[in-house]
Structures are given as structure tokens and as C-alpha cells.
Amino acid sequence: MTRKPEVRPTRQPVTPIVWLGVVVAAFGSGVLAAKGIADVAVPTRARDQSAVGSATHAASHARSAEASYFPPRGSWQQQSPDAVGMDKAALDRAIAYAVAHENPATKDLALERAAIFGQEPFDDAIGPMRERAALNGLIVRHGYVVAEWGDTARADMTFSVTKSFLSTVVGLAWQRGFIHDVKDRVVDYMPTTELFDTPHNAKITWEHLLRQTSDWRGTLWDKPDWADRPEGNEPSDYPNRPLHEPGTHYKYNDTRVNVLALAALHVWRKPLPRVLREEVMDPIGASSTWRWHGYRSSWVELDGQRMQSVSGGGHWGGGMFISARDMMRFGYLFLRNGRWVDQEIVSDEWIQMARTPGPANRTYGFMNWFLNTDRKPLPSAPASAVTFRGAGNNVVYIDWTHDLVVVVRWIQGDALDSFLGHVLAAVR
């Protein structure tokens, strides 16, 4: 899709409000009952059954227009659950359920990464890693914090949630006209053709990379594409995997994600963390603690300057290190359809493209927009909800139907739907 002209109104100042502390006790005695909550059935609620339709989209815009509160930098106003239409006891049970279902794996993420990917060829970490915090999170409804637990200020690895930041900076390039159309071939935007110099790779478009359907073949930063989640019965099969026509086959692959990051760097001609900070994170009032890392091998020279091409996740280390609080601001930006106060930061048109299922995977939009198509991935949530997800699990849940954003980190993957079901059961 081609872009529309960008409109960038001037931001107006907001009145500062003192940030609430780390509210470990915000859910009262619920954490004490965590063990007993583990197997509680989630009450059934009526939710929309359709995909992202025009009615849902119009309703979300109406709510966004009505919302007058955007948190200033360094603070976020708190409201009681009752004040935003939620039941406190039910919310206590939801948080207690999450606490009871923390990821039991080691908090040493270097060891955890080795345990998960250690059987892959070329599995060595080439980017920074660090130990993680315990389970933590926040819940925001109608713009206000209603619950916060754990160390939400700590900047931890967020793994593939990084991909949602990456696709956003690509979207900003599209808004600016640096990328004319996502269906354009990527090779036509590159200074040299070396990454796309085969007949197969030359066909790849921005949309193919954004949807993880490019099937790009090659090696980048010493990581061959076939080494990530290799296919075949024997190691000798891995490099000889069958090629799929770009756009026809979905495959989660971090080498190809890093190809997108490098291509975006060439389009912007400045480091992507700087783009993200200037265009998104500073305008939404994010802290100064987040960092977006690449690899020790991912340095390039561009316009006479040495720059690092960042990674799209933590598979080999690196990626986005960020706090739950800053993740919440990023999620809240999209709940408000890309607007912050009176400024359009991310184009609504781009968001609609990101939320549109691709033909090769109906539950995936642009990276890393996990869609709830037909409510199959998350039966407890509306079909229109989306999640940004990374290993661990790190989750940003965005729900326009209930005007809700949930950030939860280091929860067991199979507990996510039940946890969200508990949260939604608290909505009156």
C-alpha cells in the first residue's frame, strides 16, 4: 500500500502527575491466595466474535477521541478498579493467578537461551544478555493504571517484542515517504544488491519481510538463515531446505528479521534506536533506561559514520532491553490508534495494515502483531485484540473492545489465555 501525506501537529504540554510506586500490594491479599487460584475456572463473558471490522475500528476511534488523559514523562495516574469499571476482587484473583504461573525457568537468560537454542548450528550468542527480574506487570484501563506488581521499572530483555518496535520504525519510514509502497522490492532501496542478488531474493518486498514470508536465503552477521529453527531430519538437510515463493510461506526466522533491520537502517541512514527515540519514545514520555542492541558483528559504515545494525530479538543476544512501564506506554500508543495527546505518531493506516492477517498466516499481521483471528490463539479474548510477544514470556496485550492494555512479563506461555480471561472477568 502506498502512503498518505503525513500530518504532524504540535504537541501540547500536559500537567505532571506523580508516578505511583511499585505496587506489589496493589492487589491486596490476592497474592497470598495464589496457590489456590491456580485452577480457578475463568468466568465466561460475551465478547466480539468478528475480526477487526469497521464497527470495532470506529468504536476504538470514538474511545480514543474521548480519552483526555495521556501520562506525562515519569508518571502515570492511578485509579481504583471501581472507578474504571473493574471489580477489585476479580482483579486481585487475576494478578494472583499470574504470580502463581511465573515462568519456572532460570532467570539467567544466557543459560535459558542455551537450553532452548543449544541444538541449533551457529547457536553462539553474539549480543548482550542479562539476568531477568521476577514476574511483573501493569494493567491500564480507560488510560489509568489500575494494577502494578513486581519490578516494573527494571529494563529487561524483551526478546521478540523487539520486532514490534522494528516494524514500527519501518512504518515511520513509510509515513515519511522513504518507502513508497510496502509491495516495493527491498533491493531497489539498497545501496548494493549483495543481500538480494539471487533471482529468489530479488523478488522480496517490504511486506514479505514484515510478515515473515520472504524465505530470504543467505547469511547475515555470520548466521545462515537455515540455522535458525533448522528444517530436515539430518544436519546435512539444513542448508538444502526447499525454497518457497516469497509471500506464500510463513517461517519465524531471526536472520530474516535482521535483514529487515539492516534494510531499514539504509533507508533511514541513521541508527534505528535514534529513530525510535526521536519519533516514538520521547514523544510518548518513555524513560531513558531502554536500550536497543545489535551484535558485536553487526557494525556497518554509512555516510562515513560507523553504525550498529540492531537485532529484532534476543535469539542470539541483543534486541530491546526495556521496562514494563515503557512497554505499557508503547502499547497504550496503539490502543489510542497511534496518537499521543494531539499528535499522530504512528499512522492509523499503518496500524490497520499491521492488524490485517497475511495470506500465509491468518493469526499474524506485520511483525510482531499476533492477531486473535477467530479467537483461536486466545479464546478468552476478543477477536480484535492483538498481542506483541517475546520469549520468556513477554507480552503486551491491546484490547480496543475493553479499552485495556495489559503488560505481563515472565509468565508461563500456557497460562496467558487464562490470565487474560481472569482480567477480562474483572471488567463490569
**Per-domain boundaries in the chain:** 55-156+316-425
Residue 119 pLDDT: 80
Residue 62 pLDDT: 52
Residue 83 pLDDT: 97
Residue 61 pLDDT: 57
The residue type of 255 is T
Per 3-state DSSP, the chain is made up of helix, strand and coil in percentages (nearest 5) of: 35, 20, 45
Q: In sequence order, which residues have a C-beta less than 8 Å from that of residue 13 and are 6 or more positions away? A: none
Residue 170 pLDDT: 98
CA dist list (Å): 105 to 32, 36, 133, 154, 396: 22, 22, 12, 19, 21
What's the CA angle centered on 256, arms 210 and 176, to 5 degrees? 40
Residue 233 pLDDT: 87
Handedness of CA 239, 244, 249, 254 (dihedral sign): positive
Residue 360 pLDDT: 98
Residue 14 pLDDT: 35
Strand order in the sheet with 136-141: 144-149, 136-141, 404-409, 394-399, 386-390, 370-371
Per-run averaged pLDDT (10 residues), the chain, 428 residues: 49 36 36 37 40 51 62 97 98 98 94 82 92 97 98 97 98 98 98 96 98 98 94 89 96 97 98 98 98 98 97 95 98 98 97 97 98 97 98 97 98 97 97
**How many whole angstroms separate alpha carbon 297 and alpha carbon 308?**
9
What's the CA angle centered on 332, arms 140 and 107, to 5 degrees? 75
**How many whole angstroms separate alpha carbon 199 and alpha carbon 374?**
37
Secondary structure class of 58 (helix, strand, coil): helix
Residue 305 pLDDT: 97
